[in-house]
Amino acid sequence: MNQTPDRGDAYDAGQAPDVKDAQLDQYRVHDEDAVLTTNQGVPVDDDDNTLRAGERGPSLLEDFHFREKITHFDHERIPERVVHARGAGAYGYFEPYAAMGDVTAARFLAEPVRRTPVFVRFSTVAGSRGSADTVRDVRGFAVKFYTEDGNFDLVGNNMPVFFIQDGVKFPDFVHAVKPEPDNEIPQAASAHDTLWDFVRNQTETTHMMMWLMSDRAIPRSYRMMQGFGVHTFRLVAADGTATFVKFHWRPKLGVHSLVWDEAQKIAGQDPDFNRRDLWEAIANGDFPEWELGFQMVPADREHDFDFDLLDATKIIPEELVPVTPVGRMVLNRNPDNFFAETEQVAFHTGHVVPGIDFTNDPLLQARLFSYLDTQLIRLGGPNFAQLPVNRPLAPVHNNQRDGHHQTAIPQGRGSYSPNSLAGGCPYIAGAGDGYEHLQEHVHGAAVKRRSPSFADHFTQAALFWRSVSDWERDHIVEAFRFELGKCATVEIRRDVVAQLARVDGGLAARVAEGLGLAPPSASGDTPEPAPSPALAIDRLRGDGGIGTRKIAVLAADGVDGTGLTAVVEALTGQGAVCEVVAPHQGPLETDGAAVNALRSTLTMGSPLYDAVLVADGPRAADSLSGDGAAVEFVTEAWRHGKAVGALGAGARLLAAAGVPEDGAGVVTGAGDTDAFGAAFAAAVAAHRHWDR
């Protein structure tokens, strides 16, 4: 049966995203100048009162509009995802840099002119749909490619490894990290006994816990985080040659994170912080972009490493196998409706296209079953692929029929294969035209055992610790202290610290000190791998610009509007987003150009911004210096390592906040607004100034 229109020449013309948009147009509902109707199209004459027997009489069951309306409302919520429940999504496109036909038969990677539409969903893992965006957690990074050969789902995370090696442990891990079952506490948090009890009893989690305790777990923005396919997959060329591959997404804006103090405050000030950031950036035309890279390992090098390529708790260090850039992805359109698209989008690791195949990674093998099973229950049946956001651009013809929410209208008598009544249709693809699984020789006894090559749980955890910068290490130590400090069971704290001693003795001693524990004895087998500089956030800062960085401009009545306007225009000219924040919203009294306060210190805090700029004007500066909220605004920005600037008399607020004018990332000046703007932009571009 054909569920979708033919594609025509859209891919060759480079207009594929528009094709997906046009396909969705038939499902869009526009209510402007429309009469209210029932679901059957019957006009409704009263939507405020149920049908009654008399004005004060009982309601009547025959009021079909009431029954339909309330029944639909009662069923508006579908089961939320068990994991990755809270998310945000967007449409865009992917285009390769060069032809990749030498390593894969995937046609969407065949030539640079080929532009493939995508839908991307970012998410947190542990929390419910109502949890905050900035919790310490893994972030999902799932991409649906609407290719000419069907949909390909690259379902990954913002960290390159995972907690477990075998999918049979996934229910145990999720049960442990979710709110504890006796009291349903805590929400969207890993800082509790059951998770860390699982960690102390399952040492394969050690590497992933290092990533989770790092700043990678609290990204500044979805637009500023990496993505990884986690598993080792295979690329398969047209001649059948297979190459192992790991998928990497690298953001054009660089990798940037929050600090834990501001992450917690943002959860209260704006729990939709990351979701709002993505939506507003796209709405403003600041389309986020990522580069897709491949780490490729020829089949004959599978066993050349001191770890197993099939182990999802391991990375391939980039010093051993560099990441080859292969294309770019741009997100340029927000969804029309959150539920219909972002909530109903269904990803599945088993959605692959010719040229991409699986490996025997036991965690990946489990996901191949679990994801389909999840979508069947979450979306109400086997026809979830017919939902507009999931519907492929490639034509669909098969003998599948009926089921919940069937929206296609199959024609003809033949719904089986082989058949004669339908002329044998739909027929089998010819050789080389259909999906062909890689032919791999498999031999072995049926056993429930892990390969010995999966046994090392600490070397790569030590590799991560030795590779990150000093300020990242400080944050990791603080994270372990916070998380384990929330555990009520002392034995859990002690055992996890002892486990950390097998990663690095210094790390374990620093964590133990913060928990009031004696430093554990040296394990005797602590690995000392050579660092991998590619793992440090300092190496991933992006292009060094200030595009889309949000700058709070603190001002008050009496502000020097002319000088402030000149600096703001210079910053916005480089792509920054400046918002005037004052004790009250609306127009401010100025000497010169008009200034309008979009926000107030009552509703906004410095954690919601990337930098703070204090305006000039003696009266304004004195007013702000006596305002506790304004003083705290600057104090927090300084404490969180952000750029802080002050024009002229604005430096008085810095003094009131205890911020030294000669501190790293602090810019002051008067008169020469061009020089000030350039210096402040450079400070903002650095993102954070940890050398304070």
Q: Find, among 376, 352, 293, 311, the residue nearest to 78 by Cα.
A: 376
Give the Cβ contact number of residue 309 at 10 Å: 20
279-305 tens-digit pLDDT: 999 999 999 999 999 999 999 999 999
Q: Tokens 């501001």 correspond to what residue? A: 262
432-464 tens-digit pLDDT: 889 888 888 888 888 888 999 999 999 999 999
Phi, psi (deg, nearest 5) at residue 652 = -60, -35
Assess whether pLDDT exceeds 50 at residue 5: no
pLDDT value of residue 440: 86
| DSSP annotation of 1 | -
Q: How confident is the model at residue 384 (pLDDT cuts 50, 70, 90)?
A: very high
158-207 tens-digit pLDDT: 999 999 999 999 999 999 999 999 999 999 999 999 999 999 999 999 99
Q: Find, among 272, 293, 275, 292, the residue nearest to 283 by Cα.
A: 275
Specify whether the CB–CB gap between 415 and 399 falls below 8 A. Answer: yes
Mean pLDDT of 355-376: 94
Per the annotation, the verdict on 157 as an active-site residue is yes
Please give the biggest Cα pair distance in the chain.
Answer: 90
Q: How confident is the model at residue 15 (pLDDT cuts 50, 70, 90)?
A: low
Per the annotation, the verdict on 84 as an active-site residue is yes
44-88 tens-digit pLDDT: 999 888 999 999 889 888 998 888 888 888 888 899 999 999 999
Q: How confident is the model at residue 9 (pLDDT cuts 50, 70, 90)?
A: very low
N residues, the chain: 692
Q: Which DSSP helix (H) or strand (E) runs through 207?
A: helix 206-212
Task: Tell me which long-range contacts 583-586 makes (C-beta under 8 A, separation of at least 24).
Answer: 583/556, 583/623, 583/624, 583/627, 583/629, 583/630
Assess whether pLDDT exceeds 60 at residue 2: no
Assess whether pLDDT exceeds 80 at residue 671: no
Mean pLDDT of 382-387: 94
27-53 tens-digit pLDDT: 898 888 898 898 888 889 998 889 999
Q: Tokens 């792509």 correspond to what residue? A: 575
pLDDT value of residue 16: 65
Distance CA 488, CA 496 (A): 13
Assess whether pLDDT exceeds 80 at residue 14: no
Q: Taking the domains of the chain in order of start, what are their residue ranges?
A: 550-685
3-state secondary structure 149-204: CEEEEEEEECCCCCCCCCHHHHHHHHHHHCCECCCCECCCCCCCHHHHHHHHHCHH
Supply the Cα-derived Rg of the chain in whole angstroms.
Answer: 28
Distance CA 668, CA 76 (A): 54
Mean pLDDT of 367-389: 93
Distance CA 147, CA 294 (A): 19
pLDDT value of residue 488: 97
Supply the pTM of this predicted model.
0.93
Give the Cβ contact number of residue 79 at 10 Å: 11
pLDDT value of residue 348: 95
Distance CA 90, CA 75 (A): 26
Per 3-state DSSP, the chain is made up of helix, strand and coil in percentages (nearest 5) of 30, 15, 50
Give the Cβ contact number of residue 506 at 10 Å: 15
What SS3 class is residue 645? Answer: strand
Mean pLDDT of 393-404: 91
Q: Find, among 396, 400, 402, 404, the residue nearest to 416 by Cα.
A: 400
Specify whether the CB–CB gap between 353 and 437 falls below 8 A. Answer: no
Distance CA 551, CA 570 (A): 12
Q: Label residues 542-576 b or e (16+ Cβ within 10 Å = b).
A: beebbebbbbbbbbbbbbbbebbbbbbebbeeeeb
- Beta pairing class for 324-333 and 611-614: unpaired
Mean pLDDT of 243-258: 97
pLDDT value of residue 155: 98
CATH level 2 (architecture), domain 550-685: 3-Layer(aba) Sandwich (3.40)
pLDDT value of residue 543: 78
Sign of CA dihedral 354, 355, 359, 364: negative
Angle at 642 between CA 641 and CA 646, to 5 degrees: 125
- Beta pairing class for 643-647 and 611-614: parallel
Catalytic residue among 65, 72, 75, 157: 157
**Mean pLDDT, the chain, whole residue set:** 93
Q: What is the DSSP string of 5-36?
A: ---TTTTTTT-HHHHHHHHHHTT----TT---
Distance CA 247, CA 230 (A): 7
